[in-house]
Amino acid sequence: MRIVPFIITTVVTTALVFALNKQWGTIPPMGKFLHPQYGFWQNAEPSSQSFDANLIFADIKGKADVYFDDRLVPHVFAENDEDLYFIQGYLHAKFRLFQMDLQTKAAEGRASEIAGPKAINYDREQRRLGMKYAAENAMKEIDKDPASKLLFDAYTKGVNAYIGTLKESNLPLEYKLLNFKPEKWTNLRTALLLKMMAKMLSSGTESDLAYTNAKSVFIPDELKKMYPQVPDSLMPIIPKGTAFEKPGIMPIAPLSADSIYINNNEIVTAKEISKPDINNGSNNWVVAGSKTQSGAPILSNDPHLELSLPSIWYEMQLQTPTSNTYGVSLPGSPFVIIGFNDSIAWGVTNSQRDVKDYYQIKFRDDKTKEEYWFDSAWKKSELRIETINVKGGSTVFDTVAYTVFGPVMFDKSFSDTLKGGRSLAVRWTAHDPSNEGMTFYKLNRAKNYDDYTEAIKTFESPGQNFVFASKAGDIAIWQQGKFPARWDRQGLFVMPGEDSSYMWQGFIPQVENPHSKNPERGYLQSANQRPVDSTYPYFIPGSYITERGVTIEKYLSGMNNITPADMMKLQNNYFNTLAEDAKPILLQFLREADLNAAEKKYLDIFKSWDLMATPDSKGQTVYQCWYDQLEIGIWKDDLSKTKPMSPWPNEETTMEWLKRDTAFKFIDDINTPQIETLYDIVTTALKNASAELAKKESEGKLEWTKFKNPTVYHLLKDALPAFARKGLNIGGNNNIINAVTHSHGPSWRMVVQLSSPTEAYGVYPGGQSGNPGSKYYDDYIDKWVEGKYNKLWFMRDGDRMDKNIKWTMKFNKG
């Protein structure tokens, strides 16, 4: 009878071994995950963790040391550039490998390999947008320059050197949770990361599909009112009154533009699955020594992106005998992206320019897509068979046709199909061969204004506003990118693609891109607004944001004897410029007698509000809910005439029309027999807002920070909620200088005074380590929330014994 318990024990043991080593849905193999020697326990980093190391690699050519300070910021000292970027790649991988891996897989359209079937359409869209195609074209440009290729090769070798040291036990925690392993790095993956940044910052700045639908029901004059090119309140990046040269290229509209383009009323139902956040923007400004207490220029920058853990940025210093640079880098790419060196400082904001257009394609056979009609003949398509491997599912194959414009993003075979089965190709500047990385290599080494202009002139996509200051006293800003020269309204809507007449006719010459140097007023600023006033000789559509630029202009124009502390205070400013304009109009056109007691309570809160969107502000919450309802009351009835709904005019447009004409036509609700006035809309808006406010108040969420719940999510968001930081006590909004929304905002704040020595400060909402088990995972967040900064230690060669050094990592040739 002893055999029976033996059999039972054997069966149970076998079943447990099988169960614990098999992935069940999203649950990782628990045997491996819980294993004491190589499971998740190994990712718990002790607070006394040492980062000292003595490393030997065959690819190291000289002596190199990395000195970590008490914030785990590496100060890299190398004898040559190859070793410098080898080490940068190694450090990026050591502290941010999963982040690099996930972001480049997503860029390439390989998210299904990790997330399973739910990511298939996302992957199809990435491939149909031509993300890998764009990266391959970038690689052609990188590879044809031997010096450039050498640097990217060195970086890649450094990443792979670290990957080669990994064992099961020290794999980043996310790999254990998701049950996959990192793969070798390549230069192409770095190019993919940079193209993902291009998508985030330039693919979301057009609304061609939505505007095409709006055009089907609104006449041209109405469209201009709803979506104006030059706002009344614009404070452009380039100071008003600047004289512009005669245009070097003058594009001409086709004779058929009115008949088959402007007056074409067909709609589209295509919609991008992963359209980037329109608020991907930033602030930067620079003040000349004439306005500062020290007499030296001060440069400030805070790029606004989706906030994440690990942070998008990795702080570091890179030094060789010929260069010394400090700032933030992008894990997955070499160089410092925003920062300063011994001579200059620079920063970037997004241009918001439209550099992506759609063209309607006519295939001979919609199924095979082998030929399309172009210039009176059938032209061969280039067909790419995309293979999408799906975790827990069947492999998906997708045929993408490439045309003279670019890839056909939407056609009958894609899930987000067009009405009538039409096909759309996408023309995007990010597809063109370019090498944006070398701009930053040159900026890292720039000594003066001429070096700065030489560095940025080949930067193509995404268009950026490069702000500059030097110890020589110069300040400047240059909107740099490869921008199509367009005829009026070209590219606002889907264009005919059956011949070459609607193709871009060239690009705005680089020297004519908006720029300014040493203006008499002593400051320059950009905050994603339109860069120039109406006198600029080119049509430059985009998704511009006006209000922050107005606020910054207001403050800088009145400031003198400026210090770095003043600039830090300005970066954390909560003043609501739009509400300053809105408040008198809302109060003037409110029928207060029609309000009940609860509604009057919220009105009283609004009346006493100081226009500051502070964390504890109830007035900001009342204002935002009221203004949102006002916009619904004005626009929703008209915008709903199309399916899908036409795009909402921005907040500034609504306010400018109310200031200009309180009886403008869109105030009336077309769905009712009576004619509504602004009194009706404003009063109804407050009543509707009060219902939402009462609900929020009952939940304890009337204070602004509790209403919007600022959160820094892990990159996997809802999949790993325990790794997020929620309920942060911070105010602001997207149109306020401190542009924090629910999960979006200043991803790095930097202030640099170009004095001798350089005085610099910075902070980002995260930490240096990507390991959730490390105390360096999110240790900057509280300081960022409080509006405080870290002083940036610009280490010198003679500081190798300094008390700021906590750990040393030595790299030696093997």
Q: What is the C-alpha to C-alpha distance for residues 94 and 97, in angstroms, rounded to an integer?
A: 6
pLDDT at 172: 94
The arithmetic mean of pLDDT across residues 338-346, rounded, is 98
Rg (CA), the chain: 28
Name which residue leads in pLDDT, 281 or 133: 133
41-55, 665-679, 684-698, 719-733: least confident range: 41-55
- Residue 10 pLDDT more than 80? no
pLDDT at 271: 78
Instruction: Give the contacts of 143 (CB within 8 A, at least 6 positions apart).
Output: 149
- Residue 205 pLDDT more than 90? no
pLDDT at 6: 47
Task: Identify any residues that bridge with 76 across adjacent strands, giving them in sequence order.
Answer: 66, 318
pLDDT at 203: 78
Instruction: Give the contacts of 363 (CB within 8 A, at least 6 positions apart).
Output: 369, 370, 371, 372, 373, 381, 401, 411, 423
CB-CB neighbours of 54 under 10 Å = 9
pLDDT at 34: 56
For the question of whether the overall pTM of this predicted structure is more than 0.85, the answer is yes
Beta strands in 230-307 (DSSP E): 281-287, 298-306
Q: Calculate the CA dihedral of residues 732, 738, 740, 746 and round it to 10 degrees.
A: -170
Phi, psi of 301 (to 5 degrees): -150, 135
- Pull the structure tokens for residue 513: 């891109």
The arithmetic mean of pLDDT across residues 703-731, rounded, is 96
Q: Which of 307, 279, 351 is nearest to 733 (CA)?
A: 279
pLDDT at 2: 56
| CB contact at 8 A, 747 and 307 | yes
Instruction: Give the contacts of 146 (CB within 8 A, at least 6 positions apart).
Output: none
CB-CB neighbours of 522 under 10 Å = 20
pLDDT at 283: 98
pLDDT class for 413, splitting at 50, 70, 90? confident
Q: What is the C-alpha to C-alpha distance for residues 360 and 338, in angstroms, rounded to an integer?
A: 39
Predicted confidence (pLDDT) per residue in 482-528, tens digit: 999 999 999 999 999 999 999 999 999 999 999 999 999 999 999 99
The arithmetic mean of pLDDT across residues 37-55, rounded, is 77
What is residue 552's DSSP assignment?
Answer: H
The arithmetic mean of pLDDT across residues 638-661, rounded, is 93
Q: What is the C-alpha to C-alpha distance for residues 567 and 556, in angstroms, rounded to an integer?
A: 10
Q: What is the C-alpha to C-alpha distance for residues 366 and 385, in angstroms, rounded to an integer?
A: 16
- Residue 621 pLDDT more than 90? yes
202-206, 269-273, 532-536, 711-715: least confident range: 269-273
What is residue 28's DSSP assignment?
Answer: -
Instruction: For tokens 């004409």, name the residue.
Output: 661
pLDDT at 17: 47
Instruction: For tokens 């070499």, name the residue.
Output: 334
- Pull the structure tokens for residue 283: 């602030």
Determine which helix (DSSP H) or strand (DSSP E) holds 192, and give its type and residue range: helix 187-198
HSE-CB at 361 with a 13 A cutoff on CA atoms is 32
pLDDT class for 30, splitting at 50, 70, 90? low
Residue 142 CA: distances (Å) to CA of 89, 187, 338 = 17, 9, 21
pLDDT at 38: 46
Q: Which of 90, 56, 53 is nearest to 812 (CA)?
A: 56
Q: What is the C-alpha to C-alpha distance for residues 495 and 489, in angstroms, rounded to an integer?
A: 11
pLDDT at 417: 47
What is residue 575's DSSP assignment?
Answer: B
Residue 582 CA: distances (Å) to CA of 151, 386, 637, 732 = 52, 51, 22, 17
Average pLDDT, the chain: 94
Q: What is the C-alpha to C-alpha distance for residues 235 and 546, in angstroms, rounded to an integer?
A: 7
pLDDT at 281: 80
pLDDT class for 157, splitting at 50, 70, 90? very high
Fold of the CATH domain 577-708? 1.10.1400
Determine which helix (DSSP H) or strand (DSSP E) holds 326, and give its type and residue range: strand 323-329
Q: What is the C-alpha to C-alpha distance for residues 706 and 729, in angstroms, rounded to an integer?
A: 8
CB-CB neighbours of 718 under 10 Å = 8
Give the three-state DSSP class for 291.
Answer: helix
The residues spanned by each domain of the chain are 577-708
Q: Which of 270, 642, 213, 278 is nearest to 425 (CA)?
A: 270
| CB contact at 8 A, 550 and 235 | yes
Predicted confidence (pLDDT) per residue in 428-485, tens digit: 999 999 999 999 999 999 999 999 999 999 999 999 999 999 999 999 999 999 999 9
pLDDT class for 37, splitting at 50, 70, 90? very low
- Pull the structure tokens for residue 644: 């899908």
Q: What is the C-alpha to C-alpha distance for residues 203 and 354, in angstroms, rounded to an integer?
A: 8
Instruction: Give the contacts of 375 (CB within 8 A, at least 6 positions apart).
Output: 499, 500
- Residue 279 pLDDT more than 80? no
Q: What is the C-alpha to C-alpha distance for residues 775 and 785, in angstroms, rounded to an integer?
A: 17
50-54, 201-205, 743-747: least confident range: 201-205
Task: Identify any residues that bridge with 357 across adjacent strands, giving them in sequence order.
Answer: 427
The arithmetic mean of pLDDT across residues 271-283, rounded, is 82
| CB contact at 8 A, 156 and 332 | no
pLDDT at 207: 92
